[in-house]
Amino acid sequence: MADYSEHLEDFRAAGAELVAISVDDAARAEPCRQELGLKFPLLCDPRREVVKAYGLLNTRENGGIAFPASFVIDRERVVRFRALEDVATRVSVDQLLGLVRALGKGVEAPAAPRKRGVWPGAMYIRATMNALRRGVRVPNQ
């Protein structure tokens, strides 16, 4: 998220507005936004309606969270690019920015990088790091 924020002006210069969505409520998302100094909105979908509408609800984790995904949407509300799951986390901000610039010039978007297997241990390490850094999430009472 911090990477996106650093490139926010570049996205705008390329003609793109940027928003991020998670199932976090404001009480979770706002401290995160402030801590990271994010300059774009963090949209809160605690009811998971939008995450579901986009087919991205991961019910296996923690009451349901969003699978990571990125979309580039044009003025007709048509999806021009999408990257899903582990691919989404590997699409760097620079790649996404380059893509938006290319789309802006009327060049067709390249296909998303091929999905490759990820060593499952990486997920646990990342989860553990997150837990250490931010604390373990306790279900709402």
Partner 1 sequence: MDERQVPSVGENAPEFALADSTGVVRRLDDLIDGGMCFVVVVFYRGHW
> What residues line the site for partner 1 (CB under 8 A)?
1, 4, 11-12, 14-24, 26, 28-30, 32-33, 41-45, 49-51, 53-56, 58, 61-62, 65-75, 77-82, 84-85, 88, 96, 100, 103-104, 109, 130, 134, 137
Least CB distance from residue 119 to partner 1, whole Å?
A: 18
Least CB distance from residue 86 to partner 1, whole Å?
A: 11
Q: Which is nearer to partner 1, 121 or 135 (CB)?
A: 135
Confirm if 100 and 18 have CB atoms less than 8 A apart. no
Confirm if 68 and 89 have CB atoms less than 8 A apart. yes
Least CB distance from residue 106 to partner 1, whole Å?
A: 11
Q: Which helix (H) or strand (E) segment is 65 a member of?
A: strand 65-66
Buried b (16+ CB within 10 A) or exposed e, 27-38: ebbeeebeeeeb
Confirm if 69 and 88 have CB atoms less than 8 A apart. yes
Least CB distance from residue 51 to partner 1, whole Å?
A: 7
Instruction: Give Cβ neighbours of residue 56 (< 8 Å, ≥ 6 apart).
Output: 66, 67, 69
Q: Which is nearer to partner 1, 68 or 121 (CB)?
A: 68
Residue by residue, DSSP assigns 88-101 as HHHS-HHHHHHHHH
Q: Which is nearer to partner 1, 55 or 120 (CB)?
A: 55
